[in-house]
Chains A and B, each alone.
Chain A
Amino acid sequence: MDQSPAMPDSFKKIFLVLLLFPLWGISQQSVLDSLQQELANHSAKDSVRVSLLIKTAGEMTYSNPKEAFPLVDEAIAISSETNWIKGESYALRQKGNLHYVMGDDLAALDVYQKAQHLAQSIGDRSLEASLLSNIGNIFADLKQYDRALENYEAYLTSAQTLGNVPDEIKALSNIAIIYNDTKKYEEGVANLEKALKLSKQEENDLFVAAITNNLALAYKKLEDYPKALLHYQEAADLAHQIGNKYIEASALNSIGTVNIILKNYDLAALNGRKALDLSQEIEAVEWQADSWKVLSEVYEHKGEMAEALHAYKEHVRLQDSVLSEEKKSELTRKEMQFKMERQQAEAEEEIKRQHLVKNGYLAGAILLALISIASYFLYKRRRDALEKRKVVEFNAKVAETELKALRSQMNPHFIFNSLNSISDFISRNDIKQADEYLVKFSKLTRAILENSEKKWITLEEDLELMELYMQLEAIRLDNHLEYSITVDEDIEPDNTLVPPMILQPFIENSIWHGIAPKGNTGKIDIQIKKKGDMLLCVVEDNGIGRATASMDTKEKSSLGVKITTNRIEIINHMKNTEGSIDMIDKKEGLRVEINLPLELQF
C-alpha cells in the first residue's frame, strides 16, 4: 500500500501550553455557583468586585468562555474608572485568555499586549512573565517561530530572576518545542534535558512525564531509536502511575511506531492495542487514529490483510475527522496572518505619515505643510488602492482554499464505499472480482488524486472518470447497472472545463438510492448540453425515485449533494454566475439538472 498523502506528523508532542494559564483546571460547578452568589451580593464598584469578576470569568474559561466577556469588560471598566492599574491589567489578561480559548488569537494578542504595557508600568514582574509566555504561545500557533522564541526567552529570563522553577520548566519546554518544530532537534534536546532535570528536582510527575515524552519524540526524529524507546517507556510508565491516560496513550502509540521501524511487530501490536483501549476510554479521536495506523501496519507486515484493511479503514475514518478540523484551523490561521500583516503595514505607514507631518511642521513653512498634506492624500489614495487589491486577492484565496477543502472532503466518502465492496468480495471469497475491482479502484483513485488539486478539468477527462466510476459501481451491483453518456455535438469535450467530479454525488445517489433498492437492472443517462452561456448536465435514472426512498437513505445522500451545492455557490460568487441544481421527480426515477457556467479552455 502506498503512503497516505501528506498526513501531518502523527505521534505528537505534548504541549505544556494549557498549563501556562495559572491554576485554572476544570472548574467545579459549586465553586462557580458560590462565586456568582458573592458577585450578586457585592454590587459596589470597587476592587473587591473587580477581583470577584476576574475570578468568576476565570472559572468559566473552559466551560463557558463566551458568557464571561461581560464580566471581564465590567472589571476593566471599573478598574479604569478607579485608576486601579493592577486590576485592569489582570482583567485584560483574563480577557485575553477568553479570546485564546475561543480561538481568536489576534484579539487575544491585542489585549495581552495592552496588559503587558500596564504590567510594565507598575513593575509587576510575575504578571509580565505569564503574559510573555501567553504571547509566545500565540506566535507559536501562528507559526511565527522567531517571535515566539523571543517571548519564550524573555519568559525564561524572567522566571530565572524571580526564581520561579515551574515557570522556568515551562519556558524551557516551550522553547524546545519551537526548536523541534523548526527541525533543530539538537537544541530541542538540550532544552528538554534541562527542563527534565528541573522537574525531577521539583518532583512534578506530570511535567516529567510530558517532557520525557517530548524528549523521546526528539530522539526519534534524530533516529536514535533505542533512546527514543527508553524515554517513551519511561513517559508511559510515569503517566500510568499518575493516572494521566492522555500522555500514556500517546507514548504507547509512539512505542508502537518505533517498534514498527525496528521491525518488532509483536511489541508494536501490544502497545498499539493498549493505546487504543486507553484513547477510547478518554475519547481522544486523534490518538485512536494513530493506534489504528500502528495496528494496520503490523497486520500488513504479518500478512493479515483483512485485519489490516479493517484497521486502515478505522485509521482513515478517524484521521479524516481530525483533518477536516485542521483544515478549518489552517484557514483561520491564514486569515489571522493576513490581518496581522495588514495591521503591521498600517502601523508602519502611520509612523511614516507622522514623520512626514512633523517634518513639515518643524520647517514651519506653510507651503511645505501644504505639499506634505497633498502628498499624504496622494499617498493615501495609493495606499487605499493597494489595500483594496490585497483584500480582493485575499478573498479569492480564501474562496480557493474553501473549494479545495470541499473537493478533498469528497475523497474519503468515496474511498470508504469502495473499501467496503472490496471487503465484501473478500468475505465472499470472490478473489477474481475483488482483484478486478481493486485494479479499477486504484486507477480511479489515482485519477482523483491527480485531479483533486485542480480547480477545473476538461469535460472529456471528467466524463472518463465518471465512466470508470460507473463501471466500478456496476461490478458492485453484479452488473445490474447500465449507463449512457451523451454529449451534444456543439460541445467540444476537450476544450470545455468543469469542476472535477461535480456530477459524482448525483450519480452515486441515483445508483444507491434509486437503482439499487429496485432489485432489477437500472439505467443512468448522462446528457451534456449547451444552453446559452451555461452548460447543462443532466443525470437521469429509472430507479424508485425520491418519494419511495426511505428517510434514512435520503439523509445519507445529502452530504455529497450539500458539498456540491456549496461548491457551485462559491463558483457563482467568484465568477458572478448563476449555476444551479434542480431535482425533478419523474414518474419513474429522478432527473437532476446541474447548470454550470460554460468555461472554455481556449
Chain B
Amino acid sequence: MLKAIIVDDEQHCITRLTGLLQEVGPDIKILASCNTIAEGKMHIEKYNPDVLFLDVQLGSTTGFDLLSQLNHLDFELIFTTSFDTYALKAIKFSALDYLLKPIAKEDLYEALQKVRENRDLKETTKKIDVLFHNFKEGSGHSKRIAIPTVDGFVMVDTSDMVRLQSDANYTHIHTLSNKKITASKTLKYFEGILDGSNFFRVHKSHLINLSFVEHYLKGKGGYITLTDGAKIEVAVRRRDELIKKLIPNS
C-alpha cells in the first residue's frame, strides 16, 4: 500500500485523478487532497506520503513553490499540468515524471508502474535539486540536466556537455572533463530537451554544443572541430543553418 497526497487547485482535477486511481491503482491510498500550498505543506508534513501528485500551476503560485517550502523531500513526485511549456521544460530537464491533463488512464498506469518498480528516494531528491538549480540560476546561467543511464541518473551542467553522439537507442555524452556518460535515451530525446539551449544537431548522429566549436572546415557539408579535438561531419542539409548559427549576420 502506497500513501498518496494530491495537490491541485482545481477540484474537478482532483475528482478525476481520484476516480482514475480507484481503477488503476488499488494499492494507492489517498490520504489527503489539497487545494493550496499551505494545506499541501501541512498534510505532507503530517502524513509523510510515499507519492505526491502535484499540480504545476496553483493559482498565482506554483507547485515548485510548495516544494521549496518543505524541509524533507522524501517521496516520489509526479507533476500534473495542462499546457505550460516553460514549466514543462524545467520538469523535463530534471527527468521528473509528469502527467498531462486531462490525465489518460494508461499514462497514469505507466507512471504508477514506474513508482512501484524504481522507488529510489535518493534519485528523486537529486532530480528535485536539479529542478531548483535551474530555477535559481535563471535564464542567463547554465542549466543542469538529469541524464538517465542504465543504473540511475547522472546530473551534468549543460555548459559541461561538449557533444552528444547517437548509438542506436543510447546516447554517449562527452563532457568537458573528457568523461563519457552513456545515457539510456535516444539522441532525439536530448535534442527535444535541449531545444532552445545552445545545442545544434549537425548530423544524424551528433548534437553539439555550439560554445565548443573551434573550426569549421568547408566542404560538401563540411566538418566541425570541437575544443576536445573531435572532428565531426556536418550533414549537407544542416550546413546553411549551422553557418547561420555560428555567424548570426551572414
Q: A residues within 8 Å of B by Cβ? A: 2, 438-440, 442-443, 446, 449, 494-495, 600-602
Q: B residues within 8 Å of A by Cβ? A: 82-83, 100-105, 188, 201, 203-204, 235, 237-238
**In contact, B100 and A446 (Cβ under 8 angstroms):** yes
**In contact, A602 and B235 (Cβ under 8 angstroms):** yes
Q: A2-B82, A2-B83 are in contact. Are A442 and B237 (CB under 8 A)?
A: no
**In contact, B238 and A602 (Cβ under 8 angstroms):** yes
Measured CB to CB, the closest approach of chain A to B111, in angstroms, equals 15
A495 to B236, CA, bound (A): 14
Measured CB to CB, the closest approach of chain A to B85, in angstroms, equals 9
Give the chain B neighbours of A601 by CB distance below 8 A. 204, 237
Q: A439-B102, A446-B100 are in contact. Are A495 and B204 (CB under 8 A)?
A: yes
A443 to B238, CA, bound (A): 31
Given contacts A439-B103, A442-B101, 6 further A-B pairs with CB under 8 A are A2-B83, A439-B102, A442-B100, A446-B83, A600-B237, A602-B238
Measured CB to CB, the closest approach of chain B to A453, in angstroms, equals 11
A438 to B101, CA, bound (A): 11
A2 to B235, CA, bound (A): 40
Measured CB to CB, the closest approach of chain A to B118, in angstroms, equals 25
Measured CB to CB, the closest approach of chain B to A572, in angstroms, equals 19
A449 to B201, CA, bound (A): 24
A442 touches which one: B102, B188, B201, B203 (CB < 8 A)?
A: B102
Give the chain A neighbours of B101 by CB distance below 8 A. 442
A602 touches which one: B82, B104, B237 (CB < 8 A)?
A: B237
Question: Which residue of A is nearest B204, CB measured?
Answer: A602
**In contact, B104 and A439 (Cβ under 8 angstroms):** yes
Give the chain A neighbours of B188 by CB distance below 8 A. 494
A87 to B237, CA, bound (A): 62
A449 to B88, CA, bound (A): 15
Give the chain A neighbours of B102 by CB distance below 8 A. 438-439, 442
A34 to B212, CA, bound (A): 79
Closest 7 CB pairs of A and B: A602-B235, A602-B204, A439-B104, A2-B82, A2-B83, A442-B102, A439-B102
Question: Which residue of B is nearest A460, CB measured?
Answer: B188
Give the chain B neighbours of A446 by CB distance below 8 A. 83, 100
Question: Which residue of B is nearest A3, CB measured?
Answer: B83
Measured CB to CB, the closest approach of chain A to B82, in angstroms, equals 5
**In contact, A449 and B83 (Cβ under 8 angstroms):** yes
Give the chain A neighbours of B105 by CB distance below 8 A. 439
Question: Which residue of B is nearest A494, CB measured?
Answer: B188
Give the chain B neighbours of A2 by CB distance below 8 A. 82-83
Sample (22) of A-B pairs whose CB atoms are under 8 Å apart? A2-B82, A2-B83, A438-B102, A439-B102, A439-B103, A439-B104, A440-B104, A442-B100, A442-B101, A442-B102, A443-B100, A443-B104, A449-B83, A494-B188, A600-B237, A601-B204, A601-B237, A602-B201, A602-B203, A602-B204, A602-B235, A602-B238
Question: Which residue of B is nearest A305, CB measured?
Answer: B12
Measured CB to CB, the closest approach of chain A to B98, in angstroms, equals 13
Give the chain B neighbours of A443 by CB distance below 8 A. 100, 104
Give the chain B neighbours of A438 by CB distance below 8 A. 102
Measured CB to CB, the closest approach of chain A to B39, in angstroms, equals 20
Measured CB to CB, the closest approach of chain A to B217, in angstroms, equals 18
Give the chain B neighbours of A439 by CB distance below 8 A. 102-105
A439 to B107, CA, bound (A): 11
Give the chain A neighbours of B204 by CB distance below 8 A. 495, 601-602
A601 to B82, CA, bound (A): 30
A443 to B102, CA, bound (A): 9
Measured CB to CB, the closest approach of chain B to A94, in angstroms, equals 45
Give the chain B neighbours of A440 by CB distance below 8 A. 104
Give the chain A neighbours of B201 by CB distance below 8 A. 602
Interface centre among A438, A442, A449, A495 (most CB of B within 10 A): A442
A2 to B238, CA, bound (A): 37
Measured CB to CB, the closest approach of chain B to A385, in angstroms, equals 15
A215 to B155, CA, bound (A): 53
Measured CB to CB, the closest approach of chain B to A439, in angstroms, equals 5
Measured CB to CB, the closest approach of chain B to A472, in angstroms, equals 13
Measured CB to CB, the closest approach of chain B to A300, in angstroms, equals 10
Measured CB to CB, the closest approach of chain A to B176, in angstroms, equals 26
Give the chain B neighbours of A602 by CB distance below 8 A. 201, 203-204, 235, 237-238
Question: Which residue of A is nearest B105, CB measured?
Answer: A439
A348 to B188, CA, bound (A): 49
A601 to B241, CA, bound (A): 12
Measured CB to CB, the closest approach of chain B to A551, in angstroms, equals 39
Measured CB to CB, the closest approach of chain A to B174, in angstroms, equals 20
Measured CB to CB, the closest approach of chain A to B55, in angstroms, equals 13
Question: Which residue of A is nearest B234, CB measured?
Answer: A602
Question: Which residue of B is nearest A303, CB measured?
Answer: B12
Question: Which residue of A is nearest B101, CB measured?
Answer: A442
Give the chain A neighbours of B203 by CB distance below 8 A. 602
A2 to B10, CA, bound (A): 12
A2 to B83, CA, bound (A): 7
A495 to B237, CA, bound (A): 11
Give the chain A neighbours of B235 by CB distance below 8 A. 602
Give the chain A neighbours of B100 by CB distance below 8 A. 442-443, 446
A602 to B191, CA, bound (A): 14
Measured CB to CB, the closest approach of chain B to A338, in angstroms, equals 19
Measured CB to CB, the closest approach of chain A to B243, in angstroms, equals 16
Question: Which residue of B is nearest A497, CB measured?
Answer: B237
Measured CB to CB, the closest approach of chain A to B201, in angstroms, equals 8
Measured CB to CB, the closest approach of chain A to B199, in angstroms, equals 15
Give the chain B neighbours of A449 by CB distance below 8 A. 83
Give the chain A neighbours of B237 by CB distance below 8 A. 600-602
A601 to B204, CA, bound (A): 8
A601 to B100, CA, bound (A): 29
A566 to B235, CA, bound (A): 31
Measured CB to CB, the closest approach of chain B to A465, in angstroms, equals 16
A2 to B81, CA, bound (A): 10
Give the chain A neighbours of B83 by CB distance below 8 A. 2, 446, 449
A228 to B113, CA, bound (A): 52
A495 to B205, CA, bound (A): 12
Give the chain B neighbours of A600 by CB distance below 8 A. 237
Measured CB to CB, the closest approach of chain B to A397, in angstroms, equals 15
